[in-house]
Chain A
Amino acid sequence: MTHDYVIEMRDITKRFGEFVANDHINLNVKKGEIHALLGENGAGKSTLMNMLAGLLEPTSGEIVINGQSVTIESPSKAAQLGIGMVHQHFMLVDAFTVTENIILGSETTNAAGMIDLKKATAEITALSKKYGLEVDPTAKVADISVGAQQRVEILKTLYRGADLLIFDEPTAVLTPDEIAELLKIMKVLVAEGKSIVLITHKLDEIRAVADRVTVIRRGKSIETVDVAGATNDDLAEWMVGRSVSFKTEKIAPNPKEVVLSIENLVVNENRGIPAVKNLSLDVRAGEIVGIAGIDGNGQSELIQAITGLRRAKSGKITIKGVDVTHYSPRKITELSVGHVPEDRHRDGMILDMTVAENFALQTYYKEPISKNGILNYSKINEKARQLMEEFDVRGAGELIPGKSLSGGNQQKAVIAREIDRDPDLLIVSQPTRGLDVGAIEYIRKRLIAERDKGKAVLVVSFELDEILDVSDRIAVIHDGSIHGIVLPAETTKQELGMLMAGGHLK
Chain B
Amino acid sequence: MLKKYESILIPLMAVLSGLLLGAVVMLVFGYDPIWGYEELFYTAFGSVKNIGEIFRAVAPLVFTALGFAVASRAGFFNVGLSGQALVGWVFAGWFALANPDMPRPILILGTVIVAMLAGGIAGAIPGFLRAFLGTSEVIVTIMMNYILLYFSNHIIRDVFADELMKNTDSSINVSANASYQTEWLRALTDNSRMNIGIFFALIAVFVIWFLFAKTTLGFEIRAAGLNPTAADYAGMSTKRTIVLSMVISGALAGLGGAVQGLGTFQNVYIQSSNLDIGFNGMSVALLASNSPLGIPFAAFLFGALQVGSSGMVRAQIPPELVNVVTASIIFFIGVKYIFEQLLKSKRFAKGGK
Closest to A347 in B: B233
Q: Which parts of A299-357 form the interface with B (CB within 8 Å)?
A: 307, 309, 328-331, 333, 339, 341, 346-353, 357
Most buried by B among A15, A57, A331, A374: A374
User: Which of A307, A328, A350 has most B Cβ within 10 Å?
Assistant: A350
* Contact in complex: B216, A346 (CB < 8 Å): no
Contact B230 A364 (CB under 8 A): no
By the criterion CB–CB under 8 Å, are A346 and B230 in contact?
yes
In whole angstroms, how far apart are the Cα atoms of A377 and B216 in the complex?
Answer: 11
- Residues of chain B contacted by A105 (CB below 8 angstroms): none
Contact residues in A for B231 (Cβ distance below 8 Å) = 350
CB neighbours (8 Å) of B353 from chain A are 15, 59
The stretch that binds A, out of B27-35, B171-179, B218-226, is B218-226
| Interface contact B215-A362, CB-CB below 8 Å | no
Question: CB distance A353 to B232 under 8 Å?
Answer: no
Interchain CB contact under 8 A, B219 and A57: no
Contacts of B350 in A (CB 8 A): 17
Interface size class for chain A? 20 to 34
Task: Assess the B233–A339 pair: CB atoms within 8 A.
Answer: yes
In the complex, the answer to whether B230 meets A375 with C-beta atoms within 8 Å is: no
Contacts A16-B352, A352-B226, A364-B219 given; indicate if A330 touches B235 (C-beta within 8 A).
Answer: yes
* B167 at interface by CB-CB < 8 Å: no
Q: Is B351 among interface residues, defined by CB-CB distance under 8 A?
A: yes
Q: How far is the CA of A349 from the CA of B233 in the complex (A)?
A: 9
Docked CA distance A112–B227 (Å): 48
- Is B327 on the interface with A (CB-CB < 8 A)? no
Given A357-B219, A374-B215: A57 and B227 interface contact (C-beta under 8 Å): no
Q: Which residues of A contact B222 (CB under 8 A)?
A: 350, 353
Residue of A nearest to B347 (CB): A17
* B contact face: mostly helix, strand, loop, or mixed: helix
- A373 close to chain B: CB less than 8 A: yes
Among residues of A, the one whose C-beta sits closest to the C-beta of B237 is A328
Chain B residues with CB under 8 Å of A375's CB are: 214-216, 219
Complex CA–CA separation, A439 to B223 (angstroms): 28
Residues A361 and B223 in contact in the complex (CB < 8 Å), given A348-B230, A373-B215: yes
CA of A331 to CA of B217 in the docked complex: distance in angstroms? 18
Interface string of B4-34 (1 = CB under 8 A from A): 0000000000000000000000000000000
Interface centre among B216, B237, B353 (most CB of A within 10 A): B216
Within 8 A of A (CB), among B209-262: 214-217, 219, 222-223, 226-227, 229-237
Query: Which residues of B are found within 8 Å of A349, using beta-carbon distances?
Result: 227, 230
Q: Which of B217, B226, B227, B235 contacts A362 (CB 8 A)?
A: B235
Task: Give Cα A330–Cα B350 distance, bound, in whole angstroms.
Answer: 46
Cα A422 to Cα B353 with chains together (Å): 48
Residues B233 and A341 in contact, CB atoms below 8 Å apart: yes
Q: How many Å from the CB of B222 to the closest CB on chain A? A: 7
Contact check, A350 vs B230: say whether CB atoms are below 8 A apart: yes
The answer to whether A309 and B232 have CB atoms under 8 Å apart is yes
CA distance A362 to B216 in the complex (A): 12
**B230 touching A347 by the CB < 8 A rule?**
yes
Asked if A365 is an interface residue, CB under 8 A from chain B, the answer is yes
Contact with B along A365-406 (1 / 0, CB 8 A): 100001001110100000000000000000000000000000
Partner of A329 from B217, B219, B232 at Cβ < 8 Å: B232
- Residues from chain B with a CB closer than 8 A to the CB of A17 are 350-351
* B352 engages A353 (CB within 8 Å): no
Chain A 412-451 against B: per-residue CB contact (8 Å), 1 yes, 0 no? Answer: 0000000000000000000000000000000000000000
Q: How far is the CA of A350 from the CA of B227 in the complex (A)?
A: 6
Report the bound CA distance from A134 to B216 in whole Å: 52
Q: Which residues of A contact B214 (CB under 8 A)?
A: 374-375, 377
Report B326-344 CB contacts with A as 1/0, cut-off 8 Å.
0000000000000000000
A365–B227 touching, CB < 8 Å: no
A352 contacts which chain B residues (CB < 8 A)? 226-227
Nearest Cβ in chain A — how far from B132, in angstroms?
15
> How far apart are the CA atoms of A364 and B232 in the complex, in Å?
14
- What is the minimal beta-carbon distance from A367 to any residue of chain B, in angstroms? 11
CA distance A377 to B218 in the complex (A): 13
With both beta carbons as reference points, the residue of chain B lying nearest to A329 in the complex is identified as B235
* A299 CA / B351 CA spacing, docked (Å): 44
Q: In the complex, which residues 128-187 of chain B have their Cβ closer than 8 Å to any Cβ of chain A?
A: none
Chain B residues within an 8 Å CB radius of A15: 351-353
List of A residues within 8 angstroms of B229 by Cβ: 346-347
Contacts of B215 in A (CB 8 A): 373-375
Knowing A330-B235, A357-B219, A375-B214, say if A351 contacts B351 (CB, 8 Å).
no
A329-B236 Cα distance, complex, nearest whole Å: 8
Give A29 to B234 CA distance when docked, in angstroms: 47
Task: Determine the chain B residues whose CB is within 8 A of the CB of A347 once the complex forms.
Answer: 229-230, 233
A16 to B351, CA, bound (A): 5
User: Are A361 and B230 in contact, with the CB atoms below 8 A?
Assistant: yes
A16, A361, A373: the one within 8 Å of B234 (CB): A361
Q: How far is the CA of A331 from the CA of B222 in the complex (A)?
A: 22
Chain A: minimal CB distance from B304 (Å): 33
Name the CB-closest residue of B to A16.
B351
Chain A residues whose C-beta falls within 8 Å of the C-beta of B352 in the assembled complex: 15-16, 56-57, 59
Flag if A353 contacts B233 (CB, 8 Å).
Answer: no
CB distance from A476 to the nearest CB of B (A): 27
Q: In whole angstroms, what is the CA distance A17 to B350 when docked?
A: 7
Residues of A within 8 A of B227 (CB): 346, 349-352
Residues in B whose Cβ lies below 8 Å from that of A309: 232-233
How far is it, in angstroms, between the C-alpha of A309 and the C-alpha of B231 when the chains are bound? Answer: 11
Residues of B within 8 A of A59 (CB): 352-353
For B234, list chain A residues within 8 Å (CB): 329, 361-362
List, sorted by A's number, 18 A–B pairs whose CB atoms are closer than 8 Å.
A15-B353, A16-B352, A17-B350, A56-B352, A59-B353, A329-B232, A331-B235, A346-B229, A348-B233, A350-B222, A360-B219, A361-B230, A361-B234, A362-B234, A364-B216, A370-B216, A373-B217, A375-B215
List the 4 closest A-B pairs by CB distance, nearest first. A330-B235, A347-B233, A361-B234, A329-B235
Q: A346-B227, A350-B222, A375-B215 are in contact. List 20 more A-B contacts (CB 8 A).
A: A15-B353, A16-B351, A17-B351, A328-B235, A328-B237, A329-B234, A330-B235, A333-B235, A347-B230, A348-B230, A350-B223, A350-B227, A351-B226, A352-B226, A353-B223, A362-B234, A373-B217, A374-B214, A374-B215, A375-B214
Contacts from A to B (Cβ < 8 Å): 15-17, 56-57, 59, 307, 309, 328-331, 333, 339, 341, 346-353, 357, 360-362, 364-365, 370, 373-375, 377
Q: Identify the B interface with A (CB < 8 A).
A: 214-217, 219, 222-223, 226-227, 229-237, 350-353
